[in-house]
Amino acid sequence: MTELAARARALAGAGGRDDRGDRGGRRILGIAGPPGAGKSTLAGRLAEALGPELAVVVPMDGFHLAGAELARLGRAGRKGAPDTFDARGYTALLRRLREPGDGTVYAPAFDRSIEEPIAGSIPVGPAVALVITEGNYLLHDAGEWARVRPLLDEAWYLAPADTLRVRRLIDRHVRHGKDPARARAWVVRSDESNARLIAPGRDRADLVIGW
């Protein structure tokens, strides 16, 4: 963890102020990987190590389509698949975040207690040098998702052992209201299908981590 924090800090420094006080431009670190890989945990620890004045986490999950819209589209049973997110909205936000400007940019978050995105939840002030964004499809190369990788200054891919990752996923679904049998069935049917789709993205990462 110490080495990863140092690498993130160096990236943030590249986007900080120079000797004259001018900004060199904000940097964006992307953390990708399959469901249950520990992306949000790592992103949170990095942000904590760097401090809120230097780094802020902006999760891809804030761009989940709302439950009502998924139901209208007939995609509620596939929640978490690439077409259940607002990928265009996500890439548009990344473009805004690359050029800090003078004002605060507000990003959405995802509330797992209600399984819904919440707009305007994460303030990213103009002085923040590093945005850490994390999510399944940052290195996916299909459709609008292919536009994400060029917007990242550096991309990491988390690749823990599958047995550990699946156990984390089942435990997560149970914590958020599914009974164990239903949680396991969802992981096998939905999460693992998405994991197979995501796996080729590791070849587009700058760093692969067995987290």
Return the half-sphere exposure (C-beta side, CA atoms, 13 A cut-off) of residue 107. Answer: 26
Q: In 99-205, which ranges are continuous DSSP H helix?
A: 162-175, 180-186, 192-198
Residue 133: which domain range?
2-209
CATH number for the domain including 47?
Answer: 3.40.50.300
Question: Taking the model in full, what pTM does it have?
Answer: 0.87
**pLDDT tens track of the chain, all 211 residues?**
899 999 999 999 875 444 334 345 799 999 999 988 899 999 999 999 999 999 999 999 999 999 999 999 999 988 889 999 999 999 999 999 998 778 999 999 999 889 899 999 999 999 999 999 999 999 999 999 999 999 999 999 999 888 888 888 888 878 878 888 888 887 887 788 888 989 999 999 999 998 6
Q: How many structural domains are present in the chain? A: 1
What pLDDT is recorded for position 135? 96
Which residue is associated with the tokens 């399944």? 136
